[in-house]
Structures are given as C-alpha cells and as structure tokens.
Amino acid sequence: MTSEHPAPAQHAHGHNNRPDPELYRTEPVSFVRRGERLNPRRQKTWDRSHGKFIVEVPRDRATTSVAEGTDIHWDQVFGRTAPLVVDIGSGLGESTAQGAIDHPEWDFISVEVYTPGLAALLVRVEDEGLENVRGVQANAPEVLDRLLPAGSVQEIWVFFPDPWHKTRHHKRRLVSPAFADRVARVLAPGGVLRLATDWSSYAVHMRAAMEAHPQLANAHPGRATGEDSPLTRVRLEGRELEVGAQPLAPRTGSARAGVSEASTGAGLEDPVDHEGGWAPRFEGRPLTSFENKALRAGRLVFDLTYLRL
C-alpha cells in the first residue's frame, strides 16, 4: 500500500535518481512506486513539520533503505521512555493518530514509504497537537532489522497491507515467516501483534505464518470457527466478488486465474473453517479509508492478534 519515494529532506515531488532497490536487496519489497505529488495543505504541512516528526535515517543506496549499523535511541527521539507502538504501512495515518490520541502515555512510530500518506499523518498530528508520534520513511523489514532493538516494542500493527493476489507475487507479501521472525525479535515478552486484512487468501497466509512461529501465540485460539468464521462465509457466499476487474465465481467452480482457492472454496473438500483463531475487531482501530473501501465492496475483515511468549 506504499511506494518508493524521495528521502524525507527533499520535497515530495523532487526528482529521484536512486537505483531500484530490488537490484541489491535480498528480499522483494512489498510496495510499488506511486505518484508523490502533495496537495497544497499537505505540502505546506510537510515543509513545516517533517523535520520534527519524520526521523531521518541513513540510507543504503535506495531512498527507502536503512543503512546497516544505524543506531537510533527512541527515548531520545521522543524525549522520554514510554511503551513503543509501531504501525507498519500506516497509510493516511488514521490508526497511528487515533492511537496517539487514545494513549498519550505511549509513543507511536509510523512506518510508511508513501510520502502523501506521511504528509496526511502530519496534518493529523498538527491538528491534534500530538507530540507522541514520529514517522519513518523506510522499508518495513529494514526498520525491524536495523532501527528497533530486540524486545523494545510493545505492539506492532499491520492493517490492510497489499495482498498481492497473484501467486507469482506472493513473495512480495509483507506478512511471511521471515516477518514473524522479525516481529518476535523486536516485541517485548507479552507484546502484541495486530493484523487485519480484507482478503481471505492473505488472512489464511497470515494465520499460517504466525501460528508456525514458536514465540508467537494466538490470543484467541479456536475463536470464530465453523459457520461463525468469516473464512467460511467468504467461501460459501462468494463474497470476494472482484479482484481487479476479474469477477470471482462462488465455490461451485474453479478459482479464477491468479486468485487463491482459499478465497473461493474451489477445490476444497470441506469449505468450512475448523481452525478459526480470528480476533474480534480491534477497538483501537478507527474505520480507515482502506477498511471502509473493503466494507463498501462487501468484503469481510479478518483480524488476528498474537502475543509474544
């Protein structure tokens, strides 16, 4: 849901001569390049406030990279020691800002590569007079690996990441077994990982990756199974009616090209979800633009919550 972009010290519409990050990164990035132009209000806010609220990090060639050996002391950045919440792929900043409003005793790090998204967050920060928010324009895996010490984070939020529907693009999905390793390293014991997606294929993928990690435990094991499971409803009701411009048939037929059978129930002997483990909707998440779009399209939202053992 994000893109490669100019470094924070530049104007959002500045020219980018950096090399493609995939030419040297060992893992595919989970985002694509997008337009960086800001509307007048966001541009003025960016120019005025990014120096304070966007944390400058040393780059390793690409504009969203984080150089190895980077050492940031977050207590010095925020001017205090407080529980850290990291919102990855924060979009327009709705969840980050609402969390900071609801919990002034916590500090929030918004990780987002899309400049207009961070600029929208800065507008919210200024409007609400928030001091417990900072943004980082960088690739999330590198932030987890290089900017956050082991056991330093209380919560990690990943809401509505890009689902990368086609099988050949699944390697780009942010949430993966490698991501679970990174999360387990930076979360403090008892820390929380919150995930949400509106696509059943990605939800199944998320659940499998997290359930397999020995240091992460589902906070709601066995919850919402059978007919109470949103996965069962999607499979039986054919709720995910479109992926791009391709309509999906209900489960009485094969899954369309590039769409996981987990989304339709096609090819499954039993479309009923007997595993469950879906969390209640996180009350601290406002109705973001991404979630609202999904609900308007008739899709269901899958929440997952994991605890660091």
- Asked whether 16 and 63 are in contact (CB, 8 A), the reply is yes
Between helix 115-128 and helix 40-53 the angle, nearest 10°, is 80
Cα(203)–Cα(3) distance, integer angstroms: 22
Report the largest interatomic distance among the alpha carbons of the chain, rounded to a whole angstrom. 58
Cα(234)–Cα(250) distance, integer angstroms: 9
Q: Catalytic site residue 162?
A: yes
Query: How many Cβ atoms from other residues are within 10 Å of residue 101's Cβ?
Result: 15
Measured in degrees and rounded to the nearest 5, phi and psi for residue 229 equal: -80, 135
Query: How many Cβ atoms from other residues are within 10 Å of residue 221's Cβ?
Result: 10
Q: What is the identity of the amino acid at 185?
A: R
Contacts 24+ apart (CB under 8 A), 264-271: 264/235, 264/238, 264/240, 265/234, 265/235, 265/236, 268/235, 271/232, 271/235, 271/236
Cα(89)–Cα(26) distance, integer angstroms: 20
Tokens of 118: 């961070």
- Active-site position among 47, 102, 107, 162: 162
Collapsing DSSP to helix, strand or coil, 108 comes out as: strand
CA distances from 220 to 2, 77, 87, 158, 226 (A): 30, 35, 21, 17, 15
Q: Which residues are catalytic?
A: 162
